Structure 1
Amino acid sequence: MSNQKESGAPDPFLVWERPEPKKRPAPAPLSRDRIVRAAITLADAEGLAAVSLRKVAALLGSSPMRLYGYIDTKEELLDLMLDAAYGEMIAEGPFQGAWQDCLRTMAQRTREAVHRHAWLTELLSGRPLQGPNAMTYSEAALAALSDQPGFEDIAVTLQTLKTVTAYVVGALQDEASEHHAVQVSGMTKEEWQLATYPYLERMLATGRFPNIARIVKEVEHPSPAEEFERGLQIILDGVAARMNS
């Protein structure tokens, strides 16, 4: 390990702590924040697959090579975009109320952020939350629960947050999958459902899927927002039951 790391100095390997290049006269002044904001604008308009350093540079009126002074790879750019989304959630204020209220607020903020930035569902899992905004958000969530009765054990608090987060990410990905199918088809949601229903009827008529058939016939299909809230309530009820056992 280098002396730099032993001394506690910032590790230049991490994009969060790497100094930006010195400012110099240029037709289009750059900063890491401007680059990230441009990437978010691009992703909002065209999807995450459209984000590249070349396209972001073009949006900023710059060259891709200039961006490399601020960001080494596209993966770093995606990490910064994710952290910026957490920054938006932090800006909405502290988590307040009973533990159920705090967890519901966290869940709803994430869902609202995904509705602002559809690409966020692709980044919410599989990436460590090491950015300053993500860590601030995690610290605020842990603090909001740690002050509540039943959450004196930090391990219980952490596991509760992980459980709720797993539900939220999974529910949002499920919600996005149907939206993606409709979007790719070029139809409205109603047109897509009408076009695919004959296939579903043929599959159910085989008798191989009796429980799916029951769902189609018996289950009321609420709005995505209602379905999200129902699932979240099941998770919160489970946490409450564990605390009262």
Structure 2
Amino acid sequence: MNPQDVPPKPTSPPTAGIPRVEPGTDPVSFPRTETQTETPMETRTESHPDAPAPASVTWSAPRPDPEPAPAVPATKARTLWKVLFAVVLLAVVGCLAWLAVWLNTGGASPEADGSREGTLQTVETPRATSLPLPREGVKSADYAVGDCFKDFDPESLAATAVPCDSPHSAQLVAVFHYPQGESYPGAEVLKAKALEACQATKLGPAANEYQLNFQRSFPSNTSWDAGDRRADCYVSAPNGNVINKSVLP
């Protein structure tokens, strides 16, 4: 082989322009361009020792902070409190008004009680007896509140009704009516009910002009079976027929 046929020794690899990597740093790859000079494999091996591949990194967009709940304006809160206060006030006023109407109409008094317990009547009604007066032999079942009687006997089944501006000894001022379907409650219960009727009676100014007593009349077991369902209260004068005015208001 001729010496001229032996190719010359390759020159030393170029060192200019090769990036320098500091020890302990991860290599960073960049895409090559056409003007980048190829570096021999052995030179790359010596210059960049083997290093583990970088761990994979997952990139994610940061989560937006949750929007805070809208705060209730102070003016709106005050308005809600005012509305609530107005509703409560109206409810209280309505209850008071209903209670006043109920009391004024006698809802708490026995007179307005139309239930099975019976009703108490203390207001003067049209006379049950026929005109003209006086009229004798009026039955006790026909007595009406406001009627005046001459020579009255509360145990009698009949009496003589007279005008209240004429001399009389008694006046019927209250009646408690038991329901028709009620069983006989007994004499003591009927006597107590007649006393309640007397205590509930309101008398007029004329009652102060006379010496008066309350008298009670109530049905016996026999008269109850015959349909008598009333306990009566009378105002009577112990001195006989000395009353010549109605003692009711």
The bucket for the TM-score relative to the shorter chain is under 0.3
Structure (1 or 2) with the greater strand fraction: 2
Structure (1 or 2) with the greater helix fraction: 1
TM-score after normalising by structure 2: 0.27
TM-score after normalising by structure 1: 0.27
Flag the structure with larger Rg: 2
